[in-house]
A and B are shown apart, each in its own frame.
Chain A
Amino acid sequence: MRAPGTSTGTGVTPDTGDAELGTPRATGSPDSEGASSPGAAEDLLAGYRAPAVRHLLSVADLGRDGILEIMRLSDAFAEVAERPIPKVPALRGRTVATVFMEPSTRTRLSFETAAKRLSADVMTFTVATSASVKGESLRDTVETIDAMGIDAMVIRHHASGAPLRVTDWVGASVINAGDGTHEHPTQALLDCYTIREALTARRDGEVPADLRGLRIAIVGDIKHSRVARSDVLAFAALGAEVVLVAPPTLLPASLEGWPVSATGDLDSTIGDLDVIYLLRIQSERLGEVLLPSLDEYHWRYGLTRARADALKPDALIMHPGPMIRGVEISPEVADMPASLVTRQVRNGVVVRMAVLFHLLGSGVM
């Protein structure tokens, strides 16, 4: 971990008593709802040892143990999120840069909110304001940002593998916020957390060890989906049975080594599912002759009312957003209670707090 600056080294900056940044342990309001055990987050996070991994590029970087670690940290930060002042000083003095070479307001805001709730300083670099439109190379761009003194770089790029390349050029921890059609690991983590949370609620607060026993279908454009690649790794690492549902044109050329089964027939499997995870269908796929029409896709794979009725009563419906109502999901289904879409967005902040803390945290609370 690089030292961001002389006066902001870990553990040496005294608490300023700043009301907003005041340590929750000192000011923790006993009456805050949901904080059943005030200070639980601090107990868990104090003395936290940063892992050997410096970067989060793929779910594979975490493995099963790492994913479960992020789940536990997320529990702690979820508690923080319920406080009147949902902010902790864990990353005070640290700087997180978001570098988005592809437009994505949602993911960027989620990361920036997470960083701010950890009291990190945030730098934003987006294509709209970027030097890349002036012809600057990715390497020069990230080296310049890194030289300003940052601890983490959250990068979204339209090319698969770009974050891995960036690790060769910068000293900061690199977090993949979605690269091309490769991976989107924090999405998978928040998906795992969201499923785990729903199971916990169903079991009267008993937290499941993992996702064993669940049959999860990922439906849609697997071939071009970085969410699917990360979700497959994460769901399988936690013991779930994963089935990919798509026409052959939207499956990867090879599933060799993927811990999944695949089918083109949603209706044959829909009654067995515990989770149905819908992916967005982009209209570009029509021009690539991968689909005849969006209507045909909806007819074959859309989560219609009839298909929703065929699901098990307690099956969960998920979508990484943005949803195209009328294509992958019917409007009335999107708003059903079984739909966890809003929960996914909310958990995104909590899980990204956990990821930032996991990579940068040093136990300073």
Chain B
Amino acid sequence: MARGNPVTQVGEIVLRGGTLVDETGERRGDVLVRDGRIAAVEEAIDVPEGATVLDAGGCYVGPGLVDLHAHLREPGGEVAETVESGSRAAALGGYTAVVAMPNTEPAIDSAAVARDVLALGEAALGEIAVAGAITVGRRGERLVPMAELAALGVRLFTDDGRGVQHGGLMRRALEYASGLGVVLAEHCEDLQLAAGGHMNEGAWSSRLGIAGQPALAEEVMLARDLALARLTGAPMHFLHLSTAGAVEMIRRAKTDGLAVTAEVTPHHLALCDAAVASYDPVYKVNPPLRTASDVAALRAGVANGTIDAIATDHAPHAPERKEEPFDEAPAGMLGLETAFAVAYSALCASSAQADGGADQGWVPREGGTAMSMTDLFALLSWQPARIAGLDRDRRRGQVSLGAQGGPLRSGGAANLTVFDPSVEWVVDPSHLASRSRNSPYGGRRLTGKVRHTVFAGEIVVRDGVAQR
């Protein structure tokens, strides 16, 4: 076993009959896993005696998914999620690595808290990386000890949940971070312009009488940060971009050669603000669901490479919090267990798959070519792995960590996902592994489902069932 703390001993595994997907493209093949590593990748492998066979017929076998953006709520929010329950949800969603966001209580703003969360992660069903806060307590006043956290393997720093409002402080943070090998990740939201809005400002907010948060609140901070990235040369990652304008700004920044990357969420690729007409706070999220034309722009952005990653922004909230009135309920949606299926349904599946169509806020895919599985895996696996610095074998103390994001070749770490594109299923929030129930896909029909997940050579999900 490659990991320091193996929970279950497993023998050899053969993933048989699938279509392999990695950075080199797609081909038919079987995969033999032994001792946490890929032992062989061949068109057909004879099953060794005693090996476990995972049927991948009709499925895509790719590197495990990597989530840049999950709120695992521990420490402080265990009523909504724990590292363990969140990692189980992740494994069921095909993830073998998750970056835990630092807006916990206390925040991950010191080596002590980071060590605690990393320790919790050692028993998880996948790799748990942590992001550190940029400022102490995420208060936007003083910098966290970035170098000390970087020495623990922290690669991403963000005050996510809130943008860094103070431009001068953000400049100093970027300057200080330069040379530490870390990336500052921004939640772009100018709080003055957002003005306490609870949904996207536009036709729907006006009709529903809900205070709106304009696209501009995101774009103004993004413009500031792009200027700071240009000034400092420091790499930056932009979290959960949601507007057509933001996609265009990232496209231009990349054309100009800035070292920036960007992610979008599955829900911003699938749902628009019309969903809020139900006033159900399950549709309250920050940044808010935007217009159908923003959704179209985001889909174009992931298709043409402007956007680097799909990240869940998995944000569990206890059920009673999501029964408060819309403008009092907390923002956030579950995402880990449904991300692959939602992204596949929105970007690849041949027809609009979710129930209800536009009246329930699902934006049908109009024309355009379906995204290839290689491109979808790129957005969900190796590109985020690279942004998070998880794309190579590493050591953390006594723990060996295999590379995330592939490729599928002999000697590579056995972090694998098997995705069945033919399954249609209706999401039942009460059957999710998360401690919370706030999925916006409850009752919706999705296409595609994760069948198996292998993490560090261990079968953590088999036939859609978590193994521990």
Contact yes or no, B326 A161, CB < 8 A: yes
Closest Cβ of chain B to A56, distance in Å, is 16
Q: Give CA–CA (A181, B278) in the complex, Å.
A: 15
Contact yes or no, A180 B280, CB < 8 A: no
Q: Give CA–CA (A248, B280) in the complex, Å.
A: 29
Contact yes or no, B279 A165, CB < 8 A: yes
**How many residues of B sit at the interface, in one of the four size bands?**
20 to 34
Q: Give CA–CA (A254, B278) in the complex, Å.
A: 19
Q: In chain A between 124 and 144, which residues have their CB closer than 8 angstroms to a CB of chain B?
A: 137-139
Q: Give CA–CA (A157, B326) in the complex, Å.
A: 12
Q: List 25 A-B contacts (CB under 8 A).
A: A137-B323, A138-B324, A138-B325, A139-B320, A159-B327, A159-B328, A160-B208, A160-B325, A160-B326, A161-B208, A161-B209, A164-B279, A165-B325, A165-B326, A179-B209, A181-B209, A181-B211, A182-B209, A182-B210, A183-B209, A252-B207, A254-B201, A254-B203, A256-B206, A258-B207
Name which residue of chain B comes closest to A224, CB basis.
B209
Q: Which residues of B contact A182 (CB under 8 A)?
A: 208-210
- Is A213 interfacial (CB 8 A cutoff)? no
Q: Which residues of A contact B201 (CB under 8 A)?
A: 253-254
Q: Which residues of B contact A229 (CB under 8 A)?
A: 207, 209
Name which residue of chain B comes closest to A168, CB basis.
B280
Closest Cβ of chain A to B256, distance in Å, is 32
Q: In chain B between 194 and 251, which residues have their CB closer than 8 angstroms to a CB of chain A?
A: 201-203, 205-212, 214
Q: Give CA–CA (A258, B203) in the complex, Å.
A: 9
Contact yes or no, B324 A137, CB < 8 A: yes
Contacts A137-B320, A159-B325, A159-B327; A256 near B209 (Cβ below 8 A) = no
Contact yes or no, A226 B209, CB < 8 A: yes
Closest Cβ of chain B to A131, distance in Å, is 15
- Is A287 interfacial (CB 8 A cutoff)? no
**How many residues of A sit at the interface, in one of the four size bands?**
20 to 34
Closest Cβ of chain B to A169, distance in Å, is 9
- B positions within 8 Å CB-CB of A: 201-203, 205-212, 214, 278-280, 320, 323-328
Q: Give CA–CA (A138, B281) in the complex, Å.
A: 14
Q: Which residues of A contact B327 (CB under 8 A)?
A: 159-160, 180
The 0/1 profile, CB within 8 Å of B marked 1, for residues 167-182 of chain A is: 0000000000001111
Contact yes or no, A257 B203, CB < 8 A: yes
Contact yes or no, A164 B325, CB < 8 A: no
Contact yes or no, A159 B326, CB < 8 A: yes
Contact yes or no, A252 B279, CB < 8 A: no
Given contacts A139-B320, A157-B325, A161-B210, 17 further A-B contacts (CB under 8 A): A138-B324, A158-B325, A160-B208, A164-B278, A165-B325, A179-B209, A180-B325, A180-B327, A181-B209, A181-B210, A229-B209, A254-B201, A254-B205, A256-B203, A256-B206, A258-B206, A258-B207
Contact yes or no, B203 A160, CB < 8 A: no
Contact yes or no, A162 B203, CB < 8 A: no
Q: Which residues of A contact B207 (CB under 8 A)?
A: 229, 252, 257-258
Contact yes or no, B212 A139, CB < 8 A: no
Q: Give CA–CA (A255, B207) in the complex, Å.
A: 8
Contact yes or no, A165 B280, CB < 8 A: yes
Q: Is chain A's binding surface mostly helix, strand, loop or mixed?
A: loop
Q: Which residues of B contact A137 (CB under 8 A)?
A: 320, 323-324
Interface hub of A165, A229, A255 (most chain B Cβ within 10 A):
A165
Q: Give CA–CA (A53, B35) in the complex, Å.
A: 64
Closest Cβ of chain B to A231, distance in Å, is 13
Q: Give CA–CA (A141, B5) in the complex, Å.
A: 48
Q: Is chain B's binding surface mostly helix, strand, loop or mixed?
A: loop
Q: Give CA–CA (A134, B212) in the complex, Å.
A: 30
- A positions within 8 Å CB-CB of B: 137-139, 157-162, 164-165, 179-183, 226, 229, 252-258
Closest Cβ of chain B to A181, distance in Å, is 4
Contact yes or no, B206 A161, CB < 8 A: no
Q: Give CA–CA (A229, B211) in the complex, Å.
A: 14
Q: Which residues of A contact B278 (CB under 8 A)?
A: 164
Leading 9 A-B pairs by shortest Cβ distance: A161-B279, A159-B325, A182-B209, A252-B206, A181-B209, A256-B203, A160-B209, A254-B203, A254-B206
Q: Give CA–CA (A303, B59) in the complex, Å.
A: 71
**Contact among A162, A255, A256, A258 with B325 in the assembled complex (CB-CB below 8 Å):** A162
Name which residue of chain B comes closest to A159, CB basis.
B325
Name which residue of chain A comes closest to B198, CB basis.
A160
Contact yes or no, A161 B325, CB < 8 A: yes
Q: Give CA–CA (A41, B315) in the complex, Å.
A: 56
Q: Which residues of A contact B202 (CB under 8 A)?
A: 253-254, 256
Q: Which residues of B contact A164 (CB under 8 A)?
A: 278-279
Contact yes or no, A253 B326, CB < 8 A: no
Q: Give CA–CA (A226, B320) in the complex, Å.
A: 27
Q: Give CA–CA (A256, B292) in the complex, Å.
A: 15
Name which residue of chain B comes closest to A139, CB basis.
B323
Q: Which residues of B contact A181 (CB under 8 A)?
A: 209-211
Contacts A138-B324, A138-B325, A180-B327; A253 near B205 (Cβ below 8 A) = yes
Closest Cβ of chain B to A209, distance in Å, is 28
Q: Give CA–CA (A271, B278) in the complex, Å.
A: 41
Q: Give CA–CA (A120, B211) in the complex, Å.
A: 37
Closest Cβ of chain A to B409, distance in Å, is 52
Q: Give CA–CA (A260, B328) in the complex, Å.
A: 31
Contact yes or no, B209 A253, CB < 8 A: no
Q: Which residues of A contact B279 (CB under 8 A)?
A: 160-162, 164-165
Q: Give CA–CA (A329, B325) in the complex, Å.
A: 34
Closest Cβ of chain A to B293, distance in Å, is 13
Contact yes or no, A180 B206, CB < 8 A: no
Closest Cβ of chain B to A133, distance in Å, is 15
Q: Which residues of A contact B280 (CB under 8 A)?
A: 165
Q: Which residues of A contact B325 (CB under 8 A)?
A: 138, 157-162, 165, 180
Closest Cβ of chain A to B313, distance in Å, is 23
**Contact among B209, B214, B323, B324 with A180 in the assembled complex (CB-CB below 8 Å):** B209
Name which residue of chain A comes closest to B197, CB basis.
A253
Q: Give CA–CA (A254, B226) in the complex, Å.
A: 29
Q: Give CA–CA (A171, B182) in the complex, Å.
A: 56
Q: Which residues of B contact A158 (CB under 8 A)?
A: 325
Q: Give CA–CA (A92, B111) in the complex, Å.
A: 69
Q: Give CA–CA (A226, B326) in the complex, Å.
A: 16
Q: Which residues of B contact A254 (CB under 8 A)?
A: 201-203, 205-206
Q: Which residues of B contact A180 (CB under 8 A)?
A: 209-210, 325, 327
